[in-house]
């Protein structure tokens, strides 16, 4: 199989698929990234991934290339794992990289090929990409698009890939793509991982719906924290108490700075944007408040720092412990901690930032 895109998602998927016994070719147009991976160096921090990478490079089950021609010749099963960032000046997802994979790969394919999308995309993307692939395929070539969303947690990506809590595969009617996916994930399925087959639209919505739910849960407890702060109640004890209800659970009920990173913020915004395009924007208006509560937490922490410093941080020395958006990561995308650090600096504080893993990315 090939994995196209070797960023956080793609590099992890490629290495872990090789670990599960597959022959894998990772493909990326970024020459520096490919050179690093060939040398056994992961270009980001993820616990345990370096060992998996080195082990599978050594036994030659994993290799890397910058050429789509190599991908076309290497396998008939491909995983699309490129980024879908937020568009500048818009809430919508930018699908440029996703479309580039199809336009670069499909014309080179001969025979039957299956492309599993793993990137987080707006609902309807797989159907659009199928039309694009059909228009680009050479005579005699058959290219099918299926969707297999990822559910990785940064800091636990190796575990989440090798022993996922569920596998979702979206296929078109009459497809045999689910059978291929069962072969790919045979080890996990044999170990009891639920294997769910849906239509394409449902599989695309599963990922963004999961992220929207998690974001909502985080913003809920942070909204309650505002009430607790004004009444003297203890939000930690409150979260413990409601978390004992198994319909709610304790996870994601830690009040604090809110969420950040490269997934939750941009995914809920893209979800809202897509709902608007579909004429169902009213259905997701609550996510605007989820986003607003989340951003408000950063302002509140800056305000608390000013209160501790007597009303102003001008000339005060302040240390921010943490630069990544979460522990055990070097990912500083939309980092709440760096947002706070920047705001304090703009108000005249002498700010120092420390993070055990993310200092290079934070600078």
Which residue numbers are catalytic?
Answer: 263
Could you report how far apart the first and last alpha carbons of the chain are, in Å? Answer: 37
Could you tell me where the DSSP H helices lie in 92-156? 96-105, 125-136
- C-beta separation of 250 from 240 below 8 A: yes
Q: Tokens 């939750």 correspond to what residue? A: 264
DSSP string for 315-357 = T-EEEEE--SSSSS----TT-HHHHHHHHHHHTT-EEEEE-TT
**What is the Cα gyration radius of the chain?**
22
Cα–Cα distance between 256 and 326 in angstroms, integer?
12
CB 329 within 8 A of CB 45: yes
Taking every pair of C-alpha atoms in the chain, what is the biggest distance, in angstroms? 74
Helix (H/G/I), strand (E/B), else coil: 26: strand
Q: Crossing angle for the helix pair 49-58 and 8-19, nearest 10 degrees?
A: 50
Cβ neighbours around 26 below 10 Å, total? 28
What are the residues whose beta carbons fall under 8 Å from the beta carbon of 186, sequence distance 6 or more? none
Q: How far is CA 153 from its chain centroid?
A: 8
168 sits in which H/E element: strand 167-170
The whole-angstrom separation of Cα 243 and Cα 95 is 38
Q: 294-329 in b/e burial notation, b at 16+ Cβ within 10 A?
A: beebbebbbeebbeebeeebeebebebebbbbbeeb
């Amino acid at each position: 199989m090939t994995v196209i895109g070797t960023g956080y998602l793609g590099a992890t998927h490629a290495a872990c698929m090789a670990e599960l016994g597959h022959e894998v070719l990772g493909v990326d147009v970024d020459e520096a990234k490919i050179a690093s991976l060939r040398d056994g160096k992961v270009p980001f921090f993820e616990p345990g991934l370096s060992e998996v990478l080195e082990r599978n490079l050594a036994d030659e089950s994993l290799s890397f290339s910058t050429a789509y021609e190599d991908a076309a010749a290497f396998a008939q099963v491909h995983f699309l794992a490129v980024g879908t960032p937020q568009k500048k000046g818009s809430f919508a997802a930018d699908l440029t990289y996703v479309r580039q994979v199809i336009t670069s790969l499909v014309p080179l394919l001969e025979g039957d090929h299956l492309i599993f999308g793993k990137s987080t995309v707006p609902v309807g993307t797989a159907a659009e990409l199928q039309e694009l692939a059909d228009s680009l395929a050479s005579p005699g070539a058959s290219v099918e698009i299926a969707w297999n969303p990822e559910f990785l947690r940064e800091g636990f990506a190796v575990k989440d890939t090798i022993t996922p809590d569920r596998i979702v595969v979206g296929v078109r009617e009459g497809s045999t793509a689910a059978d291929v996916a069962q072969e790919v994930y045979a080890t996990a399925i044999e170990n009891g991982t639920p294997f769910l087959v849906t239509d394409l639209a449902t599989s695309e919505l599963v990922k963004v719906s999961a992220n929207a739910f998690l974001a909502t849960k985080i913003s809920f407890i942070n909204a309650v924290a505002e009430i607790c702060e004004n009444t003297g109640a203890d939000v930690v004890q409150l979260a413990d108490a409601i978390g004992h209800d198994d319909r709610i659970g304790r996870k994601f009920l830690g009040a604090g700075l809110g969420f950040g990173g490269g997934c939750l913020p941009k995914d809920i915004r893209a979800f809202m944007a897509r709902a608007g395009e579909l004429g169902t924007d009213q259905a997701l208006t609550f996510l605007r408040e989820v986003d607003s509560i989340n951003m408000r937490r950063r302002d509140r922490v800056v305000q608390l720092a000013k209160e501790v410093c007597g009303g102003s941080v001008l000339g005060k020395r302040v240390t921010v412990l943490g630069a990544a958006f979460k522990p055990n990561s070097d990912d500083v995308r939309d980092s709440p901690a760096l947002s706070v650090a920047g705001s304090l600096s703009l108000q005249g504080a002498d700010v120092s930032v420390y993070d055990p893993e993310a200092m290079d990315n934070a600078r």
